[in-house]
Structure 1
Amino acid sequence: MPDLRTFRPGGSRIVAYAVAAIMIVLTAVIGVALPSYVEFTAFELATLAAILVAVLALLHAVGRSFVRAGEDEITIRNGYRTHTVPWSDVVGFAMNEGAPWPTMVHGDDERIILFAIQRSDGPYAKDAMAYLRGRLA
């Protein structure tokens, strides 16, 4: 059986979902705590709701990112966009000094950011890069 792995962001995923939960709770608490003389128009309420939904969608995009090393292909989901690349098209992986996440080079020097592998995750990111580079050998 092949050694297949899925990598997801660690700390940033926890932070994204914690901030989302806090935003929802704070929105509800503030909405209930406002004095009765404070009134919002329908347009103002719609604007506030749209801003909340947009921020929650961005936070969810961080949390749902992954890199899945399959037997024949590598699948990368960065936010709401998914890339599937056959291993035969992968040229290499780079995590330059100071870069927050690595990139995968494929095809004719095309690059895809691997957002699910965050340098801030320390040893987990190093292990992930070693595994992915090892799959190319």
Structure 2
Amino acid sequence: MPDLMAKTVAPLWQFRARVLAVMSAMLTASMVSVFGVIWIRLSDEIKETFTLFQRLTLLFFAGIVLWGLYRMATVRVAAYEDGLAVRNVFKSYRLKWSDISVLRLSPGDAWLQVFDQEGTRLGVLAVQTSDGPRAREAAKDLARIAKAHGAGRT
């Protein structure tokens, strides 16, 4: 699957959530530590009762959780001359500036909201209110860039 954030040109502007990255790193370290200690502390007799399939199943589900934490840690938004690139946890998006109607970070919103010309809402998880003034400033910066590049014009 191609990385939709990969561009050959440098972005005009980009932003990553700090709080989410720190939280994801801490959860990853905690998960690996706790389950590692549990496995080490199990007696050899108990470890031998696990079949190969059961061990692989445990590793598979742990891998899914770790992949999700990795994706959470790497959410980002980048502005380019031709549009906006958003990487959320499960999906990445590319929007042309002309397709964007409004960007909104209202009090009470968890993250920046982007509305397209049809009124469809897209959450930008990289700009989270948990990042405080840094996120509010990022939303203002992105709104200025979007307006300068033709967003909001119908």
Matched, 1:124 2:134: yes
For residue 80 of structure 1, report the CA deviation from its aligned partner: 3.9
In the alignment, residue 64 of structure 2 is paired with which amino acid? A
In the alignment, residue 118 of structure 2 is paired with which amino acid? D
In the alignment, residue 102 of structure 1 is paired with which amino acid? L
> What residue number does 2:19 align with?
11
> What residue number does 1:22 align with?
30
Hey, what's the Cα distance between the residues in 1 that align with 2:135 and 2:125? Answer: 11
Hey, what's the Cα distance between the residues in 2 that align with 1:34 and 1:13? Answer: 32
For residue 111 of structure 1, report the CA deviation from its aligned partner: 1.8
Matched, 1:44 2:66: no
Structure 1 unaligned blocks of 5 or more: none
In the alignment, residue 82 of structure 2 is paired with which amino acid? D
Cα RMSD, aligned residues only = 1.9
Worse-matched range after superposition: 110-119 or 21-30: 21-30
- Over the matched positions of the two proteins, sequence identity in percent amounts to 28
For residue 58 of structure 1, report the CA deviation from its aligned partner: 1.2
Paired residues of 2:105 and 2:136 also in contact (CA < 8 A): no
Structure 2 unaligned blocks of 5 or more: 1-10, 149-154
The TM-score, its normalising length taken from structure 2, stands at 0.80
Hey, what's the Cα distance between the residues in 2 that align with 1:7 and 1:129? Answer: 10
For residue 96 of structure 1, report the CA deviation from its aligned partner: 2.8
For residue 86 of structure 1, report the CA deviation from its aligned partner: 1.3
Matched, 1:32 2:25: no
Worse-matched range after superposition: 87-96 or 6-15: 87-96
Matches within 5 A, 1:1-137: 4-38=12-46, 39-135=49-145, 136-137=147-148
Question: How many positions carry a matched residue from both structures?
Answer: 136
Name segments (4+ residues, structure 1) moved above 6 Å: none
Worse-matched range after superposition: 21-30 or 79-88: 21-30
In the alignment, residue 90 of structure 1 is paired with which amino acid? I
The TM-score, its normalising length taken from structure 1, stands at 0.89
In the alignment, residue 16 of structure 2 is paired with which amino acid? R
